[in-house]
Amino acid sequence: MWDESKDNLHLTASSLLQHFVSDQRPGLIYRGLGHHHHTLSPSIVRAKASRKLEAIYGGNSKTFKEIAYLSWFVNACDDAGLQVAGDSNELRNFLMEPTGQNSQGRNVDLFKFPSLWPTDQDSVFRFLAQAQHHGVPTRLLDWTSSPLVACYFAVSQALNERVRQGNEADLSTWMVSIVELDSNAAGSFKNTFRIRKAPGSTSKNLAAQKGMFTFIKGFELDSLDINNHELSHTYLKRHLLPLSEAKGLMQHLERLGVTIATLFPGYDGAAKNATEAMLLEDLDQEIRDGVEPQE
């Protein structure tokens, strides 16, 4: 959970953006979260294992579900004639029989040495990055070198979370958060988690969003939240903003050239822009009216 001592509360969108303008230290990366209760758990933690995996592996099914999702993704790409990032015989063999190098440089079975998963092979990481950016559950957690991009994703996630919660949402206490990670301070914990940047060619969205990733090695999916590290307060900080400032923040971002159209180049981004614009207007009106939305 979050430690309140790591939180900076900003009452207006202007003050939040002013902070990021004035604090441009090298090595800072950011992640936007749509609700202040959200953690830094990657999507594979929340994804379900199939009944088949549960039947075969029982309580250990979650150990194998990440590899199962990746295998299904690459098979679907093959069926659709889509290029797989990092594709090679090395990658294909890895997905069939995951192996990696131990500290002595020997190639070992990752099912016998799960703490080495995922391997450090560049082809495997590029494939993981591509899968993550197209919605496949993985252990990678998306970050960006741009605080403005993180601000956009915080509001975008809040809009979609608002739809899911419906009448149960308490708009008066809801805050979005932008998590700041100091990679220089985190450098001494590289054995705890890794920070990697994938080539822009991996995904046009990844390049537009100035994306990078953090991840923790090992099959223990319940321990993949880097905020659970006992010294996380030395490299993590949250910036909180009331949800009532969401529309103002998006207007500031648009003037600065950060929009869904620039972050998701193409028709998908344009279509998503129309949907989010409507959600944002509805949310702003509900906050102004001070009433809960009707079914």
More confident residue, 216 or 241: 241
- Which of 133, 154, 170 is a domain's end point? 133
Amino acid identity of 191? N
Do 238 and 201 share a domain, yes or no? Answer: yes
Total count of domains within the chain: 2
The DSSP call for residue 225 is -
Which residues lie closer than 8 Å to 264 by C-beta, 6 or more apart?
Answer: 205, 208, 272
Q: Please indicate, yes or no, if residue 293 is contained in any of the structural domains.
A: no
Determine contact, residues 293/166, Cβ cutoff 8 Å.
yes
Instruction: Say what the pTM is.
Output: 0.86
DSSP string, 35-65: STT-----HHHHSPPPHHHHHHHGGGHHHHH
Most confident of 12-16, 87-91, 124-128, 288-292: 12-16
Do 27 and 59 share a domain, yes or no? Answer: no
Do 62 and 183 share a domain, yes or no? Answer: no
Do 161 and 62 share a domain, yes or no? Answer: no
pLDDT digits (tens, 9 = 90+) for 247-262: 999 999 999 999 888 8
Q: Where are the alpha helices (DSSP H) in the chain?
A: 13-22, 43-46, 51-57, 61-80, 89-96, 122-133, 147-165, 183-186, 204-208, 246-255, 260-263, 267-289
Do 213 and 89 share a domain, yes or no? Answer: no
Which range of residues forms the domain containing residue 35?
A: 4-40+140-287
- Which of 133, 159, 187 is a domain's end point? 133
pLDDT digits (tens, 9 = 90+) for 149-172: 999 999 999 999 988 887 677 888
Do 216 and 271 share a domain, yes or no? Answer: yes
Between CA 263 and CA 261 the distance in angstroms is 6
Do 31 and 144 share a domain, yes or no? Answer: yes
- Residue position matching structure tokens 């994938």: 198
- Which of 133, 155, 190 is a domain's end point? 133
Between CA 270 and CA 158 the distance in angstroms is 19
Q: What angle do CA 179, 63, 114 make, to 5 degrees?
A: 90
pLDDT of residue 167: 67
